[in-house]
């Protein structure tokens, strides 16, 4: 399906992105909102459709549209009493419906829809690698500066506020960081599977870590392992990369569940 | 001419509404520095709302001043212990990591250890938070509040879910901190017997201010009836 010679660029971009997704995933798992990754990914389909319709790069139209969705999630969470999962469901189904309508227009690009749904690692070129590298670096800088405050805000918003943390700005920053990482991930892993790269490494790390820093480090290591082994495997056997990567992650998660049971059984 | 020191908390005609519902109606009180004040009242009487308004977490009508200033300007002088910490017990986080989450004011290891010793948490910084008992977790939350060296400590039903022995120890710790740090304490509590022993003043709420003053004067039978209905009385905890 993909020539072996083209593995380097997709692998480079995928590993960088997977590490960022896995770090954000620690907070998503901590906040018990694993659903948000799928929600934002599905919502971005409307942005992809707009790109196809107006002959613009779908990556950038999806990014712009999804950043808008992130701001709306933040605004509705602050200004209404709706639970965040309800807000995300409303927005992602509405955006998905808009995306399907736009895609279904005469001359709608079914191929672009398929690539968005399942990912298109083979299409990763230098321009995508540079985009991923710049945005991933921005995410890493954001997380390095704010990860402790983010954790406190997620544990108890009032405590974070009293500690002098500007919780509203931080919340918005967190949502926008999530959106950027997820939309970048769609290009490689697809709408349907990008959420796994956010949730599986973090959940596996949570099973076997005893500290917050340990969980962050292990989550990144697991994500690199999953992508670093899954993608070459897909290329070697001519299989869809995103599906193999996700299944590799599921195998690792299952293994870590066994490890955690063994470790905790010995401790108790 | 002497300059009057601003009160720790001044609330004037404080009113909080949730939509059309008035949760706190025209509450006025003033807490001097160094007092330990308990807020009592039945469920839904506005106790937590009062604390949230003082912290600026709840929109309100009226005036609230903390150390003579709007609360936003004095957050660095306030410590807060929440009613319930939405902490996923299975999430990996050590005691030391938890105390470092505040980020803005990194404190040295010695300071963290001194604070942990003060709240009698002896398991060490590497102990996972998920392994703490309910009482230990509440003491960790107090330690977290103390990390910023507060002059005012706000506690919102801090012993909810803690057993009787843990509850007694917790209030003794609060009294000790109050004495040793000369800090002002404002705490919401359901435990009238503890409140009567530890507090210098009591604020009785039932959506409005029912009483305010020293426990001996404030917890009168007619006040208890007004707060909790007929048959209400203070039951003392006996050591087992």
Domain ranges of chain B: 35-45+76-228
Tens-digit pLDDT profile for residues B35-68: 999 998 888 889 999 999 999 888 999 999 999 9
How confident is residue B239, by pLDDT bands cut at 50, 70 and 90?
very low
Out of B55, B92, B94, the one facing A158 most closely (by C-beta) is B55
Pairwise pLDDT comparison (B113 vs B152), residue with the higher score: B152
Q: Given an 8 Å threshold on Cβ–Cβ distance, is A155 in contact with B101?
A: yes
Cα distance from B52 to chain A (closest Cα, Å)? 9
Q: Are A30 and B55 within 8 A, CB to CB?
A: no
Q: How far apart are CA A115 and CA A103, in angstroms?
A: 13
Section B118-139 average pLDDT: 86
CA distance B161 to chain A (A): 17
Q: How far is A200 from chain B, CA to nearest CA, in Å? A: 15
Instruction: State the DSSP H helix or E strand holding residue B139, giving kind and residue range, or none if neither.
Output: helix B134-146
Query: Does A162 contact B126 at a Cβ distance shorter than 8 Å?
Result: no
pLDDT at position A2: 43
Sign of the Cα pseudo-torsion (A191, A138, B91, B165, in order):
negative
Point out the residue among B52, B78, B93 whose CB comes nearest to the CB of A211: B93
CATH superfamily entry for domain B35-45+76-228? P-loop containing nucleotide triphosphate hydrolases (3.40.50.300)
**A150 → chain B, closest CA residue:** B101
Ordered by where they begin, the domains of chain A are: 4-196 (1.10.3470.10)
Does the distance separating the beta carbons of A148 and B101 come in below 8 Å? Answer: yes
CB atoms within 10 A of CB A209: 22
Q: How far is B238 from chain A (nearest CA, A)?
A: 34
pLDDT at B240: 43
Q: pLDDT tens digits for chain A (268 residues)? A: 444 456 788 888 889 899 999 999 999 998 888 888 888 888 888 888 888 888 888 888 999 999 999 999 999 988 888 888 899 889 989 988 888 888 777 566 667 777 777 777 777 778 888 888 899 999 999 999 999 999 999 888 888 898 888 999 999 999 999 999 999 988 888 888 888 999 999 999 999 998 999 999 999 999 999 999 999 998 899 888 888 999 999 999 999 999 888 876 665 5
Contacts of A146 in chain B (CB under 8 A): 103
Which among B97, B101, B154 is the top mutation candidate for probing chain A, defined by the most A β-carbons within 10 Å of its own β-carbon? Answer: B101
pLDDT in tens, B62-108: 999 999 999 888 988 999 988 766 677 788 999 999 998 876 455 56
Contact yes or no for B128 and A156 at CB 8 A: no
Residue of A nearest to B54 (CA): A162
């Amino acid at each position: 399906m993909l020539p072996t010679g083209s593995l380097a660029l997709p692998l480079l971009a995928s590993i960088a992105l997977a590490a960022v997704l896995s770090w954000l995933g620690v907070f998503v798992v901590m906040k018990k909102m694993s659903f948000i990754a799928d929600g934002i990914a599905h919502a971005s389909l409307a942005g992809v459709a707009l790109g196809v319709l107006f002959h613009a790069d779908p990556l950038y139209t999806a990014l712009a549209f999804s950043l808008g969705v992130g701001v709306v999630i933040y605004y509705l969470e602050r200004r209404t009493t709706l639970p965040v999962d309800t807000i995300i469901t409303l927005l992602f189904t509405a955006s998905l419906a808009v995306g399907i309508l736009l895609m279904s227009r005469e001359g709608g690009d079914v191929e672009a829809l398929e690539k968005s749904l399942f990912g298109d690692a083979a299409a990763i070129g230098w321009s995508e690698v540079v985009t991923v590298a710049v945005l991933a670096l921005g995410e890493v800088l954001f997380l390095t500066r704010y990860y402790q405050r983010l954790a406190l805000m997620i544990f108890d918003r009032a405590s974070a506020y009293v500690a002098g943390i500007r919780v509203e700005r931080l919340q918005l920053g967190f949502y926008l960081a999530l959106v950027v990482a997820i939309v970048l991930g769609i290009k490689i892993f697809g709408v349907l599977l990008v959420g796994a790269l956010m949730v599986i490494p973090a959940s596996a790390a949570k099973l076997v870590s005893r500290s917050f820093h340990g969980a962050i480090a292990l989550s990144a290591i697991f994500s690199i392992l999953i992508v670093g082994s899954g993608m070459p495997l897909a290329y070697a056997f001519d299989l869809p990369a995103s599906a193999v990567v996700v299944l590799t992650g599921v195998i690792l998660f299952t293994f870590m569940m066994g490890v955690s049971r063994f470790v905790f059984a010995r401790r108790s | 001419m002497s300059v009057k020191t601003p009160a720790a908390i001044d609330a004037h005609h404080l009113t909080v509404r949730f939509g059309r519902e008035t949760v706190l109606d025209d509450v006025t009180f003033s807490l001097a520095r160094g007092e330990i004040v308990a807020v009592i009242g039945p469920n839904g009487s506005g106790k937590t709302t009062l604390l949230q308004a003082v912290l600026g977490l709840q929109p309100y009508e009226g005036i609230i001043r903390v150390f003579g200033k709007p609360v936003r300007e004095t957050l660095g002088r306030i410590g807060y212990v929440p009613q319930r910490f939405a902490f996923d017990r299975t999430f990996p986080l050590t005691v030391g990591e938890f105390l470092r989450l505040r980020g803005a004011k990194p404190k040295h290891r010695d300071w963290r250890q001194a604070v942990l010793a003060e709240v009698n948490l002896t398991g060490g910084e590497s102990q996972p938070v998920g392994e703490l008992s309910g009482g230990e977790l509440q003491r960790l939350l107090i330690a977290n509040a103390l990390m910023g060296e507060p002059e005012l400590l706000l506690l919102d039903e801090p012993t909810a879910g803690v057993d009787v022995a843990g509850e007694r120890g917790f209030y003794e710790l609060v009294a000790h901190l109050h004495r040793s740090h000369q800090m002002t304490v404002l705490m919401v509590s359901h435990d009238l017997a503890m409140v009567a022993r530890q507090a210098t003043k009591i604020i009785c709420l039932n959506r409005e201010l029912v009483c305010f003053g020293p426990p001996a004067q404030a917890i009168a039978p007619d006040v208890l009836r007004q707060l909790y209905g007929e048959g209400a009385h203070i039951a003392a905890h006996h050591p087992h």
